[in-house]
A and B are shown apart, each in its own frame.
Chain A
Amino acid sequence: MTHSTQKPRKEPAPGMVEKRGAGLWMTHAIMILGVFVVFFPIWLAFVASTVTQQDIVSPPMPLLPGDQFFANYKEALFSGVNVPVMTMLLNSLVMAIGIAVGKIIISLLSAFAIVYFKFPGKQIFFWLIFLTLMLPVEVRIVPTYEIVAGFGMLNSYGGLIFPLIASATATFLFRQFYMTVPDELAEAARVDGARPMRFFKDILFPMSRTNIAALFVILFIYGWNQYLWPLLITTDPEMNTIVMGIKQMFPSGDDVADWPVIMATSILAMIPPVIVVISMQKLFVRGLVDSEK
């Protein structure tokens, strides 16, 4: 059903069911209103990131941008509250790319093994991997935390990345895809005496490129938006990711929060995933539909 995203829409019969004239304007008006309502929180955050603290703490704050854009973003990026936002952005980038790339690599390989080989214990491994689909990290936080602490991986990229790679969604996606690859290709490769890894490298991997890209978009956003896990294992501000670091920027007690800097940080935190989603919209929709199936 959802496959049809990419299908071109059939030419409509003129004037039969589509709105025209006043009705068409009504339709546009509703859509614009919808976009406005959905977009308002982001707009407000952007405005807040361009005005002074004084503008905000004496409500109502203005609804149009001020002239403090450079001052606020400079302060956020290079000083921040606990740690420069630049550092947090870098940490988030390493984590998101690490999770996306790590998950794609291990799943490409294990799906290849499951689909193209017969080996002892294959079914057991298959079901073990299948089980990992079931349990989000939120549910097993305490024991996972203890393990990562035991490995001395608190406040490290390894600790941020590895526990979130342990899930089988990507493996299943690639397994599904490999099953659709014509058998003749593997047969031809075998007749030619090509080794399995050569077949993987020269034929299977290039064929999977679109799937890999679509999956990368989804996994990048998944990794970037993680909150609970980084909150637990990064006690050192230098290792904070931007999404979890924002909460740490709020003062405890009754002090007034530094809203312009916090809002500038919020905007900075959403820019990378928004760029990825918007610029790769087609791939993104496809990845979403594939990975949720």
Chain B
Amino acid sequence: MEKRVTFRGWLLPLCLIAPQVLVSAIFFFYPAGQAIWQSLFIPDPFGLSMQYVGLGNFEYLLSDPYYRASFVTTAIFSLLVTVVSMVPALFLAVVADRLIKGAGAYRTMLIWPYAVAPAIAGVLWLFMFNTRVGVVSWYLGHLGYDWNHVLNGGEAMGLVVVASAWGRISYNFLFFFAALQAVPKSVIEAAAIDGARFWRRFWTIVLPLLSPTTFFLLVVNVVYAFFETFGVIHTITSGGPQQTTTILVYKVFSDGFVGQDLGSSAAQSVILLVVVGALTIFQFKFVERRVHY
């Protein structure tokens, strides 16, 4: 795409584009290049010199049971966050769509959690399930269930999933609701005249029409679970117990800053870079298709 009408000159446009290029070069390209470069070296124990190891860091990582476990953890975590945030959102959107009046008020109330930072969401959910003072864990205890996410890996995973999915329910609701409002009323009415009941209409007409939105949200939520949930995990579990909630992004942080293993952390960054790249290309291809939809 090009404009027919353009202005003359080359100095002015270069000046206009310079701030963005400079910021990108200093804070993006240089660090990204550094990550790739560092991933090929191992610093000695005193940090005085670097030893070139080629792809050694990658080989080590891919054979490291902890790293592989972290991959599996991330996959389970992302899948759960996506499902737990999309299913209730779709349900609420479908119900809200049946309302002629008042849907706006519910929407306003449901938007709130989106504005809450993942780290704050972590604190709120930690408070409810705190083993000592949590309200929910106290009531669970009275029902005979001994909640302890500090020791139980499954419960820890459940808690970080729910805390991460919570704010996303708002986000998914907004998109589903907008998409539902765009479904032509005439189609629904035609089906109703033919005697199709609500759930039949939903499965055979509405859901297929929503598939572009659903697919888009699927990708966006996976990206979110991969990269933006650091705050939730850091506030609630710090990756524990026994690394059961250590997702890949958390491991870059804990190996690089806590463990000071720079070569490994850089190699992990490069692997994540490939993952983001793949997801982005996937998303763009899909967006291209969506335009023609």
Contact = CB atoms under 8 A, between A and B. Distances in A.
Interface string A55-81: 011011101000000000000000000
B115 interface: yes
Contacts, number: 328
Given A109-B19, A139-B269, A228-B230, A132 B28 contact: yes
A89 interface: no
Interface string B162-201: 0000100111001100110110010011001100000001
A171 B17 CA distance: 10
B31 interface: yes
A31 B213 contact: no
Given A118-B6, A140-B32, A221-B115, A60 B139 contact: yes
> Which among A131, A171, A224, A227 has the highest number of chain B CB atoms within 10 Å?
A227
A19 B192 CA distance: 13
A269 B114 contact: no
A143 B38 contact: yes
Given A2-B179, A5-B181, A109-B17, A116 B6 contact: yes
A244 to B, nearest CB: 7
Contact of A112 (B16, B92, B115, B125): B16
A159 B119 CA distance: 20
Interface string B96-134: 101110100011111111111111110111011000111
Given A171-B20, A190-B5, A277-B111, A227 B119 contact: yes
Interface in B264-284: 265-266, 269, 272-273, 276-277, 280
A183 interface: yes
B88 interface: yes
B185 A12 contact: yes
A179 B6 CA distance: 12
Interface in A1-44: 1-5, 7, 9-10, 12-13, 16-19, 24, 27-28, 30-31, 34-35, 38-39, 41-42, 44
Contacts of B249: 138-139
A166 B174 CA distance: 28
B27 interface: yes
Contacts of B19: 105-106, 109-110
Interface string B1-29: 10111110110111011011101101111
B116 A139 contact: no
A221 B228 CA distance: 13
A264 B4 CA distance: 56
Nearest to B3: A115
Contacts of A284: 111
A14 B234 CA distance: 52
B257 A232 contact: yes
B30 interface: yes
Contact of A129 (B20, B26, B96): B20
Chain B CB within 10 Å, residue with most, of A12, A45, A61, A166:
A166
A35 B276 CA distance: 34
Given A228-B253, A274-B112, A136 B276 contact: yes
Contact of B115 (A2, A116, A276): A276
A183 B32 contact: no
A201 interface: no
B35 interface: yes
Contacts of A19: 98
Interface in A195-218: 196-197, 199
Given A45-B124, A61-B135, A277-B111, A243 B119 contact: yes
Given A138-B252, A139-B269, A125 B21 contact: yes
A199 B174 CA distance: 37
B212 interface: yes
Given A27-B95, A269-B117, A38 B166 contact: yes
Given A57-B132, A144-B31, A276-B115, 13 more contacts: A16-B189, A27-B95, A41-B125, A115-B3, A128-B21, A140-B28, A140-B31, A142-B256, A186-B6, A224-B117, A227-B231, A259-B127, A269-B120
19 contacts: A17-B188, A24-B99, A38-B110, A39-B112, A42-B112, A42-B116, A110-B20, A114-B17, A117-B12, A138-B227, A138-B252, A146-B31, A147-B30, A168-B20, A196-B7, A227-B118, A228-B234, A243-B117, A266-B124
In the A-B complex, the 6 residue pairs with the smallest Cβ-Cβ separation, listed nearest first, are A143-B34, A225-B117, A227-B231, A117-B13, A143-B31, A4-B182
Interface of A: 1-5, 7, 9-10, 12-13, 16-19, 24, 27-28, 30-31, 34-35, 38-39, 41-42, 44-45, 48, 56-57, 59-61, 63, 105-107, 109-110, 112-120, 122, 125, 128-129, 131-136, 138-148, 162-163, 165-168, 171, 178-179, 183, 186-187, 190, 196-197, 199, 221, 224-228, 231-232, 243-244, 246-247, 256, 259, 262-263, 266, 269-270, 273-274, 276-278, 281, 284-285, 288-289, 292-293
